[in-house]
Structure 1
Amino acid sequence: MLARVQALQPLFRNNAEAARTERKVPSENIQALQDAGFFLALQPARWGGAEVDPQCFFQMQMAIAEACMSTAWASGIVAVHAFQLALMDPRAQEDVWGDDIHTRVSSSYAPMGKVEPVEGGFRFSGRWGWSSGCDHCTWVLLGGILPDGTYRTFLLPKSDYRIEDTWHSMGLQGTGSNDIVVEDAFVPDYRTHKQSDGFAGTNPGVSSDSAELYHMPWAQLFIRVVSTPAIGAARDALAQYCALVKGKASGDITKLAQDTGTQMRIARARNSIEEMSSVMLSNFDTMMETLRRGEKIEIDDRILYRFQASLVIEKSIEVVDSLFSSAGGSSVFVGSQIQQRFLDIHTARAHVANNPTSFARNLGATQLGAGNGDFFV
């Protein structure tokens, strides 16, 4: 599957301008990823899925991001919803995949929903932003807080919401992260996912017979899907930088060899990129090994992994800023590839999951003996 996805990089590069212009991932990219099996990567086998390990999934997302971060961001978010749906009541899975295993779901997890409990479920209304890839989906997962203060994700079909075209952004222009509007829709109780189930591993769609993958805490996958694309984009920014510098030196490598500033930028960038990738892959290696032993992942580890995921964007910003600052005059013109990586990574920082402040405080506090204050870990 990874080889199939890597083979699509030229297509994604060729379609990058169309993604920016249309402000959404081109349908050709989506179809190519579906044909490659990407959207089935985390889907249960009983619904035609591949049940790949998370580290394999994120290697694919990084490969997509090297060619187009917008495609990686939106398609990765859409694909990870198959994992969350697998945690939900089997009736919800039947609603979505019963007629077509390729049915896609978008999301917006901010707790913007107005929730009114009624018999059999909830009346649900609200407006949510940043629903990446929503134009290619026919279902949506939306966040809301119940009157008792608990958080749930609500699953709705296209007939219960509308998309409003609001995505005019400085970067990640091709993600199509438009607004979702819901007006007094009924959501049956079985089409909701409790945050407490995702945290404690008491998900109604998971049993002792389920693959180890689905015993992974839900948050550990989602937090990585909005940071990992930056690693692939930073890797491509480094490649773009090297090409630009070689061009300025007229291909004379001896000129570059004498420039210690250039050497240090490249060395530090390469090290940071490999470090971020290695930490992410190692975390998932460790978690999957733990689950295969039939053990639970310790909360202290989950808190640490949460913080490490939140650092990826800031580390990627350091990389791309260092490279962009010395990439030369051509980098400032519209259409510059390294400029696009700069804009994309900085835009990703606006996502709440990529702000490390609260996650650093939680990690530090728990190391000093305080209780965990984050239930999305």
Structure 2
Amino acid sequence: MHFAYSSDPRAVAATGLAFPCGRAKPVVGGFRLSGRWPFASGVDAATWMIVGAQIEGTPDRLMLLVPKDDYQSLDNWRGFGLAGSGSHDVKMQEVFVPEHRTVRPEQLASGRDAPGTLVHDSPVYRLPAYSGFGFALAAVPLGAARAALDQFIAGARLRATTFSASRVAELAPVQLRVAEASANISFAEIAYWTHLRELVALTNSGEEVGQDAKLRWKRDVAFAVGLSKRCLETLLTAGGGGALSTNNPLQRYFRDVFAAASHIALTWDVQASLYGRHALTIPLGDDLLI
């Protein structure tokens, strides 16, 4: 049976947007789609997949919506962090996708040309998809870093050291690292919320978002995630040997933050390079989606 959004208003779609991993062959009424896409986070809970593909015989790209019956989750996600995200590879072969379940990625870049804007009034459908993507992803490492800091402080207030029985909270190095970790996540949250509010305000106004703002958002979101990593590194150092136990939630926060920070949209070197090229007026390339 094919699932439909009309019968399931809470339907969830996972994504596999690595365009070179898919091939879409034009046929009457739509496309024949084949490929294998990595990192389909949330596929186990989804009833649809949105995948990217190259249109056969052209340099053009396409995003296609495919129901659960038509793809296979390969159950191969074994990450050391975000272990519960179910980021398996997804595979499909010669699946027919009708034209109405496709969209050109360029239509989503500005948000103003997205098909959803023709039938929905909500500003959500006008968000510039690619420059806004990092905000959704960054919520995970920033939230984990904040939770790690809160739990560390609560535990340190009560805990005694193993060898001297003195209170952990009274140790100057621990106090310094708590301050450093707090500053890291505080600055990360300020950058995150400042830019997110700007994105929402511009979207609500109907004003077109320029490349300067988009690349600045992408730069600072990646930098904020880097600060969340520094927060966890600092706390893990302050936690001593006890923080290494698999029973200590700190090590899981550490693994999850570092795994999330590996996403290309949150990787500092990638986003910093893009911003630097733009600032120095070096062309970014026509195939780049921003």
What TM-score do you get using the length of structure 2 for normalisation? Answer: 0.88
User: 1-side partners of 2:73 and 2:116: how far apart?
Assistant: 29
Q: Deviations over 1:309-338 (max 9, x none)?
A: 222332221110111022022221222100
Pairs within 5 Å for 1:105-184: 105-111=13-19, 112-146=21-55, 147-184=57-94
Contact conserved, 1:199 with 1:375, CA < 8 A, in 2?
no
Deviation per CA, 1:244-280: give whole Å up to 9, x if none.
4330359976x73561x22221112112212212212
Which range is displaced more, 145-154 or 296-305? 145-154
Match of 1:207 in 2: 118
1:256 aligns with 2:169: yes
**Alpha-carbon distance in 2 for matches of 1:364, 1:102:** 40
Higher percent of residues as helix: 1
Contact in 2 for aligned 1:120/1:188 (Cα 8 Å): yes
Partner of 1:98: 6
Question: Aligned to 2:97, which of 172, 187, 191?
Answer: 187
- Please state whether the residue corresponding to 1:141 is helix, strand or coil: strand
Q: 2:227 aligns with which of 315, 319, 324?
A: 315
Give the secondary structure class of the aligned counterpart of 2:11.
Answer: coil
Residues in 2 aligned to 1:208 and 1:290: alpha-carbon distance in whole angstroms: 20
User: Residue 275 and residue 376 in structure 1: after superposition, are their counterparts in 2 closer, same or farther (change >3 A)?
Assistant: farther
Secondary structure of 2:16's aligned partner:
strand
C-alpha distance in structure 1 between counterparts of 2:71 and 2:120, whole Å: 35
The 3-state SS of whatever aligns with 1:205 is helix
SS at match of 2:18: strand
Give the match for residue 358 of structure 1. 270
Match of 1:235?
A: 146
Give per-residue Cα distances to partners, 1:118-159, cap 9 Å, x unaligned: 222211111112111211111111111223222222110011
2:226–2:261: 8 Å Cα contact kept in structure 1?
yes
2:239 paired residue among 307, 320, 327: 327
- Give 5+ residue unaligned stretches, structure 1: 1-94
Contact 1:195 1:375 in 2 (8 A): no
RMSD: 2.3
* Deviation string, structure 1 residues 44-76 (Cα, Å, up to 9, x no partner): xxxxxxxxxxxxxxxxxxxxxxxxxxxxxxxxx
Counterpart-to-counterpart distance in 2, 1:107 and 1:232: 22
Relative to 1, partners in 2 of residues 1:176 and 1:258: Cα closer, same or farther, differing over 3 Å? Answer: closer
* SS state at 1:224 partner: helix
User: Structure 1: which amino acid aligns with 2:191?
Assistant: V
Contact kept? 1:230, 1:312, Cα under 8 Å: no
Q: Partner amino acid for 2:31? A: F
Alpha-carbon distance, 1:301 to partner: 0.3
Quick one: distance in 1 between partners of 2:166 and 2:247? 26
Deviation at residue 96 of structure 1 after TM alignment:
3.7
Answer yes or no: is 1:226 the counterpart of 2:137.
yes
- CA shift in 2, pair 1:210/1:271, >3 Å: same
Q: 1:332 to 1:257 in 2, by over 3 A?
A: closer
Q: Deviations over 1:214-261 (max 9, x none)?
A: 2210113322222221011001111232234330359976x73561x2
Instruction: Provide, for residues 178-223 of structure 1, a one-character-per-residue CA deviation record: whole Å limited to 9, x for no partner.
Output: 1211011011222112111011331122139723332210113322
* AA matched with 2:123: E
Q: Say which SS state the counterpart of residue 168 (structure 1) adopts.
A: coil
Percent identity (aligned): 26
- Paired residues, what number? 281
Equivalent-residue separation in structure 2 for 1:209 and 1:195 (angstroms): 19
Secondary structure of 2:271's counterpart equals: helix
Please report the TM-score for the alignment, with normalisation by the length of structure 1: 0.69
The 3-state SS of whatever aligns with 2:182 is helix
